[in-house]
Amino acid sequence: MQGLVGSCHYMQRVHRNLMLGFDFTQLFSHKKSMFSYGAKAFLGRHTAYASTIQGGAQYHLGYIIPIRRGTNFVSHYKFDPENGSTAILGLKQRSEAVDITATISSKAKVTTILGIKSVPMGLKLCAEVDYLKDHYSFGYGISLGAQQ
C-alpha cells in the first residue's frame, strides 16, 4: 500500500499552442516529496507533452491523437536511468460522468482505470496486471472539488 499522497499542480497557457507548468507531490507515509516540470503543445487537434521529474531522474514524452469525440489514442515513453525505459500505448474514453482508460506497456503490464465524476468528489478505481512478474494489484482514489 502506498499510503497517503498529497499533490498540487498548475499549468498556465503561455501561448496559443503552448502550456507550461509544475507539479509537487508529497508522499506522507514515506516522508518524501517530488517536484516536476512539464510542457504541453497543441498541434491542430493533436497534443504532445513532455516532463521531467526530480531534476532529470525521469523524462516523459507523450503524444495524444483524437480518434473520435471523447476517444483518444495515447502513446507515452518514460526514460528512467535507474529502472529502465518503458513505452505505453492505450485508449482513453471521456464523457461528462465517466473516464475509462486502458493501456499496455512494453514491460507486459496491462492497466485499466475507471473514473467516476460527481459534483462534490470523484472516485477512481484501477487494476493492473503484470504478466512478467505474475502479479496483479487493485487500487482506488478519491478526489474532492470540481472534477475535470
d(CA 111, CA 95): 19
Handedness of CA 81, 87, 90, 96 (dihedral sign): positive
Residue found by looking up cell 492505450 in the block = 90
Which portions of the chain are predicted below pLDDT 50? 1
The residue type found at 97 is A
Cβ atoms within 10 Å of 123's Cβ, excluding its own = 14
Whether the model pTM is above 0.75: no
d(CA 40, CA 23): 14
Q: What angle do CA 47, 52, 57 make, to 5 degrees?
A: 145
Tens-digit pLDDT profile for residues 67-103:
988 899 999 999 988 888 999 999 999 888 889 999 9
